[in-house]
């Protein structure tokens, strides 16, 4: 059964990263795997946004790790496309599998053929390979390890923990850069305000000096006028 509207309270809370709201909704009976009309689920939303704590909470509430949208997108492929290695690792540990895209010729036909054939890149691995940066490479490595017959559960958990630690470190680096940029912006604003204040003070001093000079000039003219008036009159008799 699919939810007929475009969203649900649980889906909206997952999109916006409101962990405590998600917890309250699940405790109140919200269905963790209920899909929207497009087939998207709360797990898709948290995976695409990289909200790892919410994703773990949904998985612990028995959300289906292999639920798929109408176009074949799974939470695993959504997380891989976003470069969220921590979410990829959590989904793989929960049993997520790498399926073929619906437009793949090998996937046309029965639902069973959506499953990746040995040695064939599935939708999630292809999504992870869309960008050649550290987060996406980590996602691709996790998926490859999960698909390898020689990878044990311990190996996958170790790789997931390493990827999660790297993701947190990158997030901390970004946060520090944002804080430094904000501090620099505040400093620039303070300096600009000080310059404006200095200019205003100089203008006021200039106006005061001009007013004083004008006043002195007027008094000088008045004295000159009185002097001229007194000197040009008839001399007084003794």
Task: Write the DSSP assignment of the chain as a string of letters.
Answer: ---SSS--HHHHHHHTT-HHHHHHHHHTT--TT---TTS--HHHHHHHHT-HHHHHHHHHTT--TT---TTS--HHHHHHHHT-HHHHHHHHHTT---BPPTTSGGGSSSGGGGBPPTT---HHHHHHTTS-SHHHHHHHHHHHHHH-TT--HHHHHHHHHHHHHHHHHHHHHHHHHHHHHHHHHHHHHHHHHHHHHHHHHHHHHHHHHHHHHHHHHHHHHHHHHHHHHHHTSPPPP-
Arithmetic mean of pLDDT over the chain: 78
What's the pLDDT at 151?
Answer: 54
- Domain-located, residue 3: no
Average pLDDT over every residue of 202-212 = 81
- Domain-located, residue 153: yes
Tokens 């998600």 — which residue? Answer: 22
What's the pLDDT at 159?
Answer: 62
Which CATH number is 146's domain given? 1.25.40.20
What's the pLDDT at 166?
Answer: 67
Q: Which two three-digit tokens encode residue 49? A: 């946004």
Tokens 């029965």 — which residue? Answer: 110
**Conformation bin of residue 39: beta by default, left when phi > 0, alpha when psi is -120 to 50:** left
Number of independent structural domains in the chain: 1
Higher pLDDT, 129 or 50: 50
Q: Which two three-digit tokens encode residue 100? A: 């073929």
How far from 223 is each of 35, 130, 211, 229, CA to CA, in Å?
96, 89, 18, 10
Average pLDDT over every residue of 124-140 = 86
Q: Assign 50 a pLDDT band (cuts: 50, 70, 90).
A: very high
d(CA 213, CA 224): 16
Average pLDDT over every residue of 52-77 = 90
- Domain-located, residue 93: yes
Number of residues that this document lists for the chain: 238
Tokens 């309250």 — which residue? Answer: 24
pTM check: above 0.85: no
Whether pLDDT at 118 is above 50: no
Give per-residue pLDDT as tens, 158-202.
Answer: 666 666 676 667 667 767 777 878 888 888 888 888 888 888 888
d(CA 87, CA 143): 12
The winner for highest mean pLDDT among 73-87, 128-142, 150-164 is: 73-87
What's the pLDDT at 52?
Answer: 92
- Domain-located, residue 202: no
d(CA 57, CA 46): 10
Per the structure, the complete domain to which residue 88 belongs is given by: 9-163
Q: Assign 125 a pLDDT band (cuts: 50, 70, 90).
A: confident
- Domain-located, residue 224: no
Q: Assign 115 a pLDDT band (cuts: 50, 70, 90).
A: very low
- Domain-located, residue 185: no
Give per-residue pLDDT as tens, 18-47.
Answer: 999 999 999 999 999 888 888 899 999 999
- Domain-located, residue 149: yes
- Domain-located, residue 237: no
């Amino acid at each position: 059964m699919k939810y007929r509207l475009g969203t649900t309270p649980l889906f909206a809370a997952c999109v916006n990263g409101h962990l405590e709201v998600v917890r309250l909704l699940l405790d109140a009976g919200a269905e963790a795997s209920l899909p929207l009309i497009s087939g998207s689920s709360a797990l898709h939303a948290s995976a695409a946004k990289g909200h790892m704590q919410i994703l773990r909470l949904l998985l612990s509430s028995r959300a289906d790790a292999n639920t798929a949208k109408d176009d074949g997108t799974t939470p695993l492929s959504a997380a891989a496309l976003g470069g969220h290695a921590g979410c990829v690792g959590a989904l793989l540990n929960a049993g997520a599998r790498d399926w073929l895209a619906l437009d793949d010729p090998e996937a046309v036909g029965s639902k069973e053929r959506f499953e990746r054939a040995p040695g064939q890149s599935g939708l999630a691995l292809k999504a992870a390979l869309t960008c050649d940066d550290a987060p996406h490479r980590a996602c691709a490595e996790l998926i490859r390890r999960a698909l390898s017959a020689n990878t044990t559960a311990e190996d996958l958990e170790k790789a997931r923990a390493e990827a999660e630690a790297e993701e947190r470190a990158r997030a901390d680096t970004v946060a520090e850069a944002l804080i430094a940029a904000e501090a620099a912006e505040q400093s620039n604003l303070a300096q600009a305000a000080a310059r404006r204040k200095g200019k205003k003070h100089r203008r006021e001093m200039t106006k005061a000096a001009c007013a004083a000079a004008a006043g002195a000039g007027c008094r000088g003219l008045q004295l000159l006028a009185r002097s001229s008036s007194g000197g040009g009159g008839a001399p007084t008799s003794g």
